[in-house]
Amino acid sequence: MFCVRCGSSDSELYDGLCRDCFLEDYTILSIPSGIEVYVCSHCHAKLISGQWVDEGLPEEEIVYRALEENISWEPPVENPEIELEIIQQRGTIYQCLVEVDAEVLGRMVSQEYGVEVRLTNTVCPACSKQASGYYEAVIQLRADGRELDKSEIEKADLTVKRTLLKLSRRDKLAYLPQRIEVNEGIDYYIGSHKSARKVVSALREELGGIARESPRLMGQDRSSGKGLYRTWISLRLPDFRRGDFLLHRDRMLTVLDLRKRGVSVKDLETRDVKNILWGEYENIDLVARAADVKTTTVTARSPGRIQVLHPETYEPVDLEADSYTSKLEIGEQVPVIEIKKRLYIIDEAEE
């Protein structure tokens, strides 16, 4: 057998050519002479195979990645070493040089390729939605039978902001296009339904309350034919707050904390702490506010009994002593609450 180009018969043939003739025309790398990359002008994400990825990259890094993603090679190429260089930039057009050293059929071969990378600015769907004020969910923060107080609003605002900032690293629709104060409370408009649910979970962890969802059909997606829904999420805080007093299953309680898992309370008689699940909310009655607490004086004590002055009539009131009140000293000032004509001494930790 002999080389069809030079007639040599002294070496192994590759596609009918000797090694020297084969390598003369052999191209080590496969790479297009021109590459166009669609880049979002707002977030710098790039469109790859129909997906917007690599948000926030500088333009030069986008160019280098575009070169890397479009380079390929096949045997007999072995151990290629590739260097990329931007040699000229005109606006969003980059003239690039790709240099490669590789072993081909036992011989080291070096080649250079000129590639033009063009960055075409556009707007990705997520940024387009943000610019238009798009939203998929509305969180309606309300309080049952009362107005939201200033501290609740401040805590809610901070929780929404902090949660969306964390979620935005993975969900570009985790943003707040609108916040509206209404007579009943606050409405938070959230870009994505998925993020809205996580925001509600974070709000409940801080403020407690009961959440209910109500999806509504708003139209139809022209491209997919699927229904377009928006979800209204009602987060209703209870009529009571920390420090208020409750009646639950014949026990007088004070509220220690409100969380997603339920209401943390302390029994005014036994001093036991327990958690009441939100499913029991309808069985809870508010009987006094934290503002109703008054201060009085311990006037006497005996084994098993303690005496205080009524905070309004100043008449002596005898109470059964417990593990907390039995340690109080005569003359000591103590907080008390009167509920259904019965006086309770409040543990300082409950205030």
pLDDT tens digits along 25-47: 888 999 999 999 999 988 888 88
> Does residue 19 lie in a domain region?
no
Q: Which residue has the higher pLDDT, 201 or 56?
A: 201
Task: Please return the burial class of 66, using the count of CB atoms within 10 Å of its CB with bins 0-12, 13-18 and 19+.
Answer: buried
- Count of structural domains within the chain: 3
CA distance 73 to 28: 6
Radius of gyration of the chain (CA): 37
88, pLDDT greater than 80: yes
Q: Are 116 and 138 within one domain? A: no
Signed CA dihedral, 334, 340, 342, 346: sign only:
negative
Of 104, 125, 146, the position where a domain reaches its end is: 125
Q: Residue 40 is which amino acid?
A: C
Q: Are 112 and 157 within one domain? A: no
Q: Are 148 and 198 within one domain? A: yes
Q: Are 114 and 200 within one domain? A: no
- Please report the pLDDT score of residue 257 as a whole number: 96
pLDDT digits (tens, 9 = 90+) for 187-233: 999 999 999 999 999 999 999 999 999 988 777 665 556 667 899 99
What's the angle, vertex CA 10, arms to CA 6 and CA 12, rounded to 5? 90
Q: Are 146 and 66 within one domain? A: no
Whether 220 and 226 have beta carbons less than 8 Å apart is answered as yes
> Does residue 272 lie in a domain region?
no
> Does residue 23 lie in a domain region?
no
Q: Are 37 and 91 within one domain? A: yes
Of 192, 215, 237, the position where a domain reaches its end is: 237
| Range of weakest confidence among 167-171, 215-219, 315-319 | 215-219
Provide the CATH number for the domain around residue 297.
2.40.50.140
Q: Are 94 and 187 within one domain? A: no
> Does residue 37 lie in a domain region?
yes
315, pLDDT greater than 90: yes
pLDDT band at 10 (very low <50, low <70, confident <90, very high): low
> Does residue 177 lie in a domain region?
yes
350, pLDDT greater than 60: no
CB count in 10 Å sphere of residue 330: 11
Q: Are 228 and 311 within one domain? A: no
- Please report the pLDDT score of residue 323 as a whole number: 86
pLDDT digits (tens, 9 = 90+) for 98-142: 999 999 888 899 999 999 999 999 999 889 989 999 999 999 999
Q: Are 88 and 39 within one domain? A: yes
pLDDT digits (tens, 9 = 90+) for 240-274: 999 999 999 999 999 999 999 999 999 999 999 99
- Residue 39's SS3 state is strand
Mean pLDDT of 293-321: 94
pLDDT band at 4 (very low <50, low <70, confident <90, very high): confident
How much is the pTM?
0.76
Of 77, 94, 125, the position where a domain reaches its end is: 125
The tally of CA atoms less than 13 A away on the side-chain side of residue 260 is 9
- Could you tell me the residue range of the domain that residue 53 belongs to? 29-125
Q: Are 137 and 231 within one domain? A: yes
> Does residue 255 lie in a domain region?
no
User: What is the maximal distance between C-alpha atoms in the chain?
Assistant: 126
> Does residue 252 lie in a domain region?
no
Mean pLDDT of 82-94: 95
Q: Are 232 and 137 within one domain? A: yes
> Does residue 249 lie in a domain region?
no
Report the percent of the chain where pLDDT is more than 70: 96
Report the percent of the chain where pLDDT is more than 90: 73
16, pLDDT greater than 60: yes
Q: Are 138 and 223 within one domain? A: yes
